[in-house]
Amino acid sequence: MTTVRNPVLPGCYPDPSICRVGDDFYLVTSTFEYLPGLPLFHSVDLISWEQLGHVIDRPGQLDYDGIASSGGLYAPTLRHHDGVFWLVCTLVDQADATRGGNFLVTATDPAGPWSDPVWLDVDGIDPSIFFDDDGRVWVHGTRLVSEPQWHDQTQVWVRELDPATKALVGPEHVIWNGALLGVVWAEAPHLYKVGGTYYLLAAEAGTEFHHAVSVARADAVTGPYVGNKGNPILTHRHLGRGSDVIGAGHADLVEAADGSWWAVLLAMRPYGGYHYNLGRETFLLPVVWEAGWPVFAPGVGRIPADVEVPFAGAARPGAAQGGESGVVRPDDLRWTSLRRLASEFATPSGDGWDLALRPSTLAEPVTPAYLALRQQHVDLDVRATVRVDLAAGEEVGLAVRQSEDDHVRLFVTRTGEHGRTAVAVHRRGGADITLGELPLAGEAGDAVTLTVQARGQDYALLVATGGAEPGVVAVADGRALDSVSTGGFLGLWIGVYATSNGRPTQTIAHVDSVEYLPVVA
């Protein structure tokens, strides 16, 4: 028996969905406007997870252009049937309701390649898919009620899918409006069949503080469904905002080969007040069945800090679990970019990258030259060493990103004929605020080391040249960066960026290395 510490996937890995094939578990999470999209993980014991690849990983699979922060890919569901992996998901463009929608992709190997999307003729979000033992296939999801009794009232629908044509067929059935009268966002529905009974698991009350998990059951897949008298069967909202874990919800169930049951779900870890800079993370907890109902975290009733998995061997946490420290090389699957793949502006070079400056900036819903990693630790250093001969108005540096309107940049820019200056800027609510400046020694093209040093909610921005001790340019307040303060659904990403700020350019920034260095007590 091995004990794993929650969360099993730290950092912004929300909306987990899981399935088992033999002795192997596979898991996927949301990625919003970041590409490649929908990371796919593998484990044999629910403790040690290795990323195999991404579902959306090549040009032309999906069009993200112009999608604003916290839009993009929402709430995938992953299932396996007859040798094929099936995944349904939603592409959301919050500025254009006619764009995107629910889609289906398939693969015979979870590492890919995955098919091009097949669009499903239904609106709403959070689609799921269920393979019944009679050979029929059912898709289900969530949407707002057209004539609601209360604000943000939603309904869960189910409809049959023809697996040959991948088209929805037959009548639609509305099977759920939530366990509680007046509840908002009954979403993330998943159907299961256990002991001949159909179970509907759903999240409720919005993916924030009041998030909860509820369950209902029926004798037929189309209902009627009767809710558990104990609903919600899991929530942390009664623990208050000072709890170490909040927002528990969006769960998915899986049965292990030994007959034990488990749930993966999202939740957040606040620190420095009611702020969760790491975003919505993936947690694990045990499930048992009592009197025909699932019981989450029996005897505890909340997400445990540590989970014992009887069939697990020695833990081997990898990079995606925050288990590695040091240089993050170009082939590392943690690298992401915005709305298009990094190959459009970045070329691997040794341990780092050659980064072509782009006129676009982080303040626009486009594809700037930005290569970033999720922040997975409360205390850490992210350090980049860059060499570049900049033209006037150009900048290269590190950025801590929440959205177009809210991010922090530490960058090098040209001053005068040959001078260089390090500048720290906090963009808050769409307005740039200069936090500090520091002149740099040396010549244009000399190496500069930039560091974001996170210690709780203090993000110190440091710079060094020529082997000298780093100097502090400024300290940014992380409490102004998380989604509680800014809105949206994302945790923070930290990475290198390069921009000519709207000017044509041929400048290439040489990023010698980027280091991700957790500070672990």
Q: Which structure tokens are listed for 510?
A: 């040489």
pLDDT at position 418: 73
Q: Per the structure, how many domains does the chain have?
A: 2
357 and 479 co-located in one domain = yes
360 and 312 co-located in one domain = no
pLDDT at position 94: 83
Instruction: Specify whether 187 is catalytic.
Output: yes
335 and 191 co-located in one domain = no
Domain end, chosen from 305, 321, 337, is at 321
Domain end, chosen from 321, 349, 366, is at 321
* CA distance linking residue 336 with residue 35, whole number of Å: 5
pLDDT at position 169: 97
pLDDT under 50 in the chain at which residues?
none
- Residue of 45, 93, 187, 406 with catalytic role: 187
Residue from 476, 382, 387 nearest 425 by CA: 476
397 and 250 co-located in one domain = no
191 and 315 co-located in one domain = yes
Domain end, chosen from 264, 294, 321, is at 321
228 and 258 co-located in one domain = yes
- DSSP annotation of 358 reads B
What pTM value is reported for the model? Answer: 0.97
* CA distance linking residue 150 with residue 111, whole number of Å: 43
Question: Residue 402 belongs to what domain range?
Answer: 326-518
Half-sphere CA count of 37, side-chain side, radius 13 A? 29
* CA distance linking residue 375 with residue 450, whole number of Å: 17
First to last CA, the chain: 25
Write the DSSP assignment of 4-64 as a string of letters.
EESPSB-SS--S-EEEEETTEEEEE---BTEESEEEEEEESSSSS-EEEEEEE-STTS---
248 and 352 co-located in one domain = no
Read off the pLDDT of residues 182-236 as tens digits, 9 standing for 90 and up. 999 999 999 999 999 999 999 999 999 999 999 999 999 999 999 999 999 999 9
As a dihedral over the C-alpha atoms of residue 371, residue 377, residue 380, residue 386, rounded to 10 degrees, the angle is -10
